[in-house]
Structure 1
Amino acid sequence: MPAMLLMLLQTSLAHAESLDQKVNAIFASSTGWFVNLIFAPLPGTSFPWIVLWLVVGASVFTLYFGFVQFRAVRHSISLVKGDYSDPKDAGEVSHFQALTTALSGTVGLGNIAGVAVAVGIGGAGATFWMILAGLLGMASKFTECTLGVKYRNEYKDGTVSGGPMYYISKGFAERGLPGGKFLAALFAVFCILGAFGGGNMFQSNQAHAQISSVMGSYPGWITGVIFALIVFMVIVGGIKSIARVTEKVVPLMAFLYVGAALVILIINADKIFWAFGQIFEGAFTGLGVAGGLVGALIQGFKRAAFSNEAGVGSAAIAHSAVKTNEPVTEGLVSLLEPFIDTVVICTMTALVIIITGQLLVDANTGLYVIEAGRIVTADGSSGVALTSAAFGSAISWFPYLLVVAVILFAFSTMISWSYYGLKAWTYLFGEGKNAELAFKLLFCGFVVVGAAADLGPVIDFSDAAIFAMAVVNITGLYFLMPIVKREMNSYFKRLKSGEIKKFK
C-alpha cells in the first residue's frame, strides 16, 4: 500500500509539473508581446521606458507643486498622529490606518530581494539614485491620493470607493475631457490582473520558497491553503478589518527588519561613513561596475519605481477610504509612504549589504570584481539569498527572522492588494455583497495556485499589468493636476489663517 501511494503521489506531481509547463507555454506565447512592450528598454540602452515614465512624472509633480514633499513633512506627521482628525468626517479608517494599509501593499519582498539585485548589478551607487527616485515619488503619491479622496464615492452605509477609476472618469467629465470612462475601465482591468498576480500569486509563491528553504521541502499547496484561510478571515471584513490588521503588522514588520539592520549598523558603526562614501562615489562613477554611472542610475531608479509604486495608482485606492473632508490631508499623509518604503527600508537593506562586505572589491584597483555583468558577491548569492547572507554574517540566526519578515511582508501585501483588486472589480461589475464575496473567494483561490505552481510567465504578465496601471494613471494625473493645485493652495491658505484647527 505505501508503495502504491508513493506511485500515485509521483504521478500526480508529474501531472502538476506538466500542467505548469502547459500554462507557462500558453501564457508565454499569448502575452509575451504585452510583457515585452511594458518592460521594453529605450533604444540603445537597458533602461525600461516604463521606469522613465514614472520618474519623469514624479519630477513634473515635484516641480509643479513646489516641492510639497519637503515643505509639508511636519504637517504630514501631525495628520498621521490624528491632530487634525474629526471623528465625524466621512470615511472608514484613520489617517494612520490608511497609511499602514497602503504601506503594507508596497513594503514587501522587493525591499529585501529587489534591493539586493539592484546593488548586485549597479553597485553601491544604485542606492543614491534609489533614494532620489523615492524622494521624487513622494510628489506622485501626493497627487494621486488627493484626487482619490476628492472624487471617491461615499455610500449611505458609511463605506467608500475611490481610486484612479473614479477620479479619472469623474475628473475628466468635470473638465469636459473625452475618454475618461474608457481609461478608468482600462485601469480597473489592469488592477484586477495585477492583484491576482504580483499582489497575490507572487507573494504566496515566494513566501513558500523561503519557508521551505529553512524548514525543508514540502508541497506548496499546504502553504497556499494556510495563507488563503488567514487572508480570507481578514479581507471578508472589508477595509476596516484590513486596516485593523495592517496598523499592527506594518509597525511589527518595521521593528523586526529595520531593528535588525540598525543592530548591524551599530556593530559596524566605524564603516557607516565609508559606506556612504561608496554610495556617493558609485553614483557618479559606477566604481567600475558594468555600465558605470548609467548602470547605477538604471538599477537605482528601477528599484525605487518597482518598490514604492508611486504613480501606479494602487495606493490611492486605500487612501480614499480615510476619514476626512479635506482631500489634501490624505495627499500629505500619503507622501510619507515612498519615504518610509524606499528612503528608509530599501536604504537599510543596501547599507547592510555594503557594510558587511558582500560586494567583492579588487584590492589593487579598488573597483568591483565583475563577472557576466554582475558584481561578484562573497558567497556567490543574489536576491533574497544575498540579503540573508549579509544579515547572517553579523547575526547568525537572521535567516530564521527573515522567514518571519517574508511571511509578514507577503501576507500584508496580499491583504492590501485584495482591497485594490476588489475596488476595481466592483467598479466594473457593480457594488454588492455577492460581487464582493465572489472576488474574495476567487482571490483566495489564487493564493493557493501561486504557492503550489511555478507560473513564471503568468507572474511576468501580472507585473506588466501593474505597471500598465501607471501608464493610465499618470496620463490622467497630467490632466487633473491643476485641480490638485487648486485644492492644495486653498488648504494651505486656510491652514495658515487658522481656519483649519487641531482637534487634539
Structure 2
Amino acid sequence: MMQSDAQGGLAERINDAAAPVSDAASAVIFYSIRIGEVDLPLVVVWLIVAATVFTFYFRFINLRGFAHALRLVVRRRARHEGDGEISHFEALSSALSGTVGLGNIASVPVAIALGGPGAVFWMIVAGFLGMTSKFAECALAVKYRRTKPDGTVIGGPMFYIEAVFSRRGLKTLGKFAAVFFAIMTIGASVSVFQVNQSYAQLSNVTGVTAPLAYGVIVSALVAVVILGGIRNIARVTRVLVPFMGALYLAAGWLIILLNIDAAPAAVAAIFKGAFGLEAAGGGIVGALVNGVQRATYSSEAGVGSAAIAHAAVRTKEPLTEGYVALLEPFIDTVVVCATTALVIIMTGAHEPYLYVPRSEIVGIEITSAAFGSAFSWYPYVLLVSVILFAFSTLIAWAYYGAQAAAYLFGATRAVDVTFKLTLCALLSTGAAIHLSSIISFIDSMLFGMCIPNIIALYLLLPELKRDVRRYEAAHFAPKAGKTGDAPAGT
C-alpha cells in the first residue's frame, strides 16, 4: 500500500512538473479550429493536404508502383548491390515495427467512438494518400544519407531538410529546422505509452500487478536488441513483424468470418457515417477528422520517422526504397487498422461508447471486448499481440532517437550507447506511473516533426519528380525487360 501511495505521489509530482510544458507544446502543435461540434487540429490538415498534393503530383504512384514495390521486397539480391546495412524487406519490417503498434489496437476504437463508423472510411482514404508521402520521404532519406567509413549509415529527414534550405541560401534556417526535427524525434522516442498500455492489458487479462518489474523486463529486452544497431534490430523485426501481424490478423479475420452476417450492416454504417448521413458525432466532419487523425497517428506518413529506418537500406538506387516504403501505410492502415475497425463494428463492441464525452472514451478495452465476444480466451491472443506490437514499436523508435542523437551530438559509439541506456531507463518507469502530461508532450513532438519535414518535401518535389521520370524510363518502359536497382552510377 505504501509503495502504491509512493508511486501515486511520484506520478502526481511528475505530472505537475510536466503539465505546463506539455500544455504549451500541445497548444502550439495541436492548434485547432472549431467546425460545428468538432475541433480540427491544423497539423492534421497540414499532413492530409500534403499527402493529397503528393499523390496527384506523382500521378498516383501509390497505385502505379504497388506491384513493383512488392517485387522489390520479395526478390533476393546480392550483398554488393550498394551501400547500406539491411535489405529492402528488413527496412520495411524495421519501419513497420514502429508504426504497427498499439495505435492499431487502442486508438482505432477511439476514432470510431468519437466519429462513428464513418471514421473508418476516411481512415482508409488517409492511409491510401499517405502512401505517397512515405514514398517521397523515404526515397529522399536514402538519397541524402551519410555512410561512415565502417559502412554504417546515418540518415533521416534531418539531412535533406538541411540540404534543401542550404541550397537556397538559407543555411542557418536549414540547420535550425533540421535540429528542430531531431529534437522532436528524440522526444517522441520516449514511448512510455507503449509500456504503459501493454502492461494495462497484461494486468486486465491476467490480474498481474507488478508494474515496476514489467517495466524493467521490457526495457532490458529493448536494450539487448537496440545496442546491436540497425542490423540487430532488422534481424529481430524481420521475424517479429510478420509473426505478430499474422497472429493479430488471423484472429481478426476469424472473428470477421464468424460474424459475416453482420458484414452488410457494418459496411452500410461505415459509408452512411462517412458521408454525413448520420448527424451524431459531428456528421461528416466528425467522421473525417477522427478518421484522418487516426490514420496519421498510426501510419506516421509525412512525419518522417520511418524514413530514418529506410535510410539504412542496402541499395544504390534511392527510389527503390521509396517504392518499398509506400507499402507501409497500406499494411498499417488499410489492412491492420481496417481489420481492427471491422472486428469492432461487426461485433458491436463500440456501441456502449458511441458518441460519449471524450473524457469517458476507452481504447484497448473496446478492442479486447470485441475479440472476447468470439471466444473467452481471445483476449489472451490479443495480449500476446499487444506485447509484441509494443516491443516492436519501442525498438524502432529507440533507433530513430539514436539516429537523431547522432545527428545532434556526433555519430560516435559513446553517444549511441549513452542515449540508448538513458532511454531504456526512462522506459522502465512507463508501467509504474501514469504520465498523462508526458504522453501528451510526446504526441506533440511526434506531430512537430512533420512541420519541417513537409516543408522540405515541398521544396524537393521537382528534384524527386526528375528522379522518378529517370527511374520509370529505365525500369517501367517495355524495353527495360526487368525491374530492380538501377545500374551503378545512376
TM (norm. structure 2) is 0.94
Alignment map for 1:329-478 (pairs within 5 Å): 329-360=320-351, 371-372=356-357, 382-478=362-458
Structure 2 Cα separation of the partners of residues 65 and 149 of structure 1: 19
**Alignment match of 1:122 (pick from 96, 115, 126):** 115
Distance 1:281 1:500, change over 3 A: same
Structure 1 Cα separation of the partners of residues 313 and 276 of structure 2: 44
Distance 1:173 1:500, change over 3 A: farther
C-alpha deviation, 1:170, in angstroms:
2.2
Among the aligned pairs, what percent are the same residue?
48
Tell me whether 1:17 sits opposite 2:37 in the alignment: no
**Alignment match of 1:149 (pick from 135, 142, 164):** 142
**Alignment match of 2:202 (pick from 211, 236, 244):** 211
Number of the residue aligned with 2:488: none
Structure 2 Cα separation of the partners of residues 448 and 34 of structure 1: 24
Contact 1:89 1:323 in 2 (8 A): yes
Number of the residue aligned with 1:182: 176
Contact 1:290 1:373 in 2 (8 A): no
Tell me whether 1:227 sits opposite 2:218 in the alignment: yes
Distance 1:51 1:410, change over 3 A: same
Q: Which amino acid aligns with 2:103?
A: G
Distance 1:67 1:370, change over 3 A: closer
Give the secondary-structure state (helix, strand or coil) at the position aligned to 1:449. Answer: coil
C-alpha deviation, 1:121, in angstroms:
1.6
Alignment map for 1:477-492 (pairs within 5 Å): 477-492=457-472
Number of the residue aligned with 1:78: 71
**Alignment match of 1:106 (pick from 84, 99, 108):** 99
Structure 1 Cα separation of the partners of residues 355 and 320 of structure 2: 48
Tell me whether 1:97 sits opposite 2:79 in the alignment: no
Contact 2:21 2:441 in 1 (8 A): no
Structure 1 Cα separation of the partners of residues 388 and 106 of structure 2: 15
Tell me whether 1:318 sits opposite 2:309 in the alignment: yes
Contact 1:328 1:488 in 2 (8 A): yes
C-alpha deviation, 1:207, in angstroms:
1.3
Number of the residue aligned with 1:52: 45
**Alignment match of 2:81 (pick from 88, 92, 98):** 88
Could you tell which deviates more after superposition, 332-341 or 74-83? 74-83
C-alpha deviation, 1:218, in angstroms:
1.9
Contact 1:286 1:295 in 2 (8 A): no
**What are the Cα deviations for residues 275-308 of structure 1, in whole angstroms up to 9, with x where unaligned?**
2222112111252422111111111111101110
**What are the Cα deviations for residues 40-96 of structure 1, in whole angstroms up to 9, with x where unaligned?**
212444111111111011011111111110111010000111266664311100000
C-alpha deviation, 1:382, in angstroms:
3.3
Q: Which amino acid aligns with 2:243?
A: L
Tell me whether 1:498 sits opposite 2:480 in the alignment: yes
Q: Which amino acid aligns with 2:33?
A: L
Distance 1:441 1:355, change over 3 A: same
Contact 1:123 1:286 in 2 (8 A): no
Q: Which amino acid aligns with 1:261?
A: G
Number of the residue aligned with 2:264: 273
Structure 2 Cα separation of the partners of residues 227 and 192 of structure 1: 19
Number of the residue aligned with 1:133: 126
Distance 1:501 1:61, change over 3 A: closer
Distance 1:29 1:90, change over 3 A: same
**Alignment match of 1:38 (pick from 14, 23, 29):** 29
Q: Which amino acid aligns with 2:175?
A: K
Contact 2:179 2:408 in 1 (8 A): yes
Distance 1:332 1:389, change over 3 A: same
Could you tell which deviates more after superposition, 70-79 or 10-19? 10-19
Number of the residue aligned with 2:291: 300
Structure 1 Cα separation of the partners of residues 350 and 99 of structure 2: 27
Q: Which amino acid aligns with 1:139?
A: T
Structure 1 Cα separation of the partners of residues 298 and 21 of structure 2: 27
Structure 2 Cα separation of the partners of residues 458 and 332 of structure 1: 35
Q: Which amino acid aligns with 2:177?
A: L
Structure 1 Cα separation of the partners of residues 344 and 39 of structure 2: 24
Q: Which amino acid aligns with 2:220?
A: L
Give the superposed CA RMSD: 2.0
Q: Which amino acid aligns with 1:331?
A: G
Runs of at least 5 residues in structure 2 that lack an aligned partner in the other structure: 486-490
Q: Which amino acid aligns with 1:462?
A: I
Distance 1:355 1:13, change over 3 A: closer
**What are the Cα deviations for residues 105-149 of structure 1, in whole angstroms up to 9, with x where unaligned?**
001111011110111121111110000000000010011001000
Distance 1:429 1:393, change over 3 A: same
Tell me whether 1:194 sits opposite 2:188 in the alignment: yes
Distance 1:134 1:269, change over 3 A: same
Contact 1:105 1:412 in 2 (8 A): yes
Contact 1:101 1:247 in 2 (8 A): yes
Distance 1:195 1:274, change over 3 A: same
Structure 2 Cα separation of the partners of residues 275 and 487 of structure 1: 43
**Paired positions, count:** 480
Structure 2 Cα separation of the partners of residues 290 and 388 of structure 1: 23
Q: Which amino acid aligns with 1:184?
A: A
Distance 1:260 1:27, change over 3 A: same
Distance 1:182 1:268, change over 3 A: same
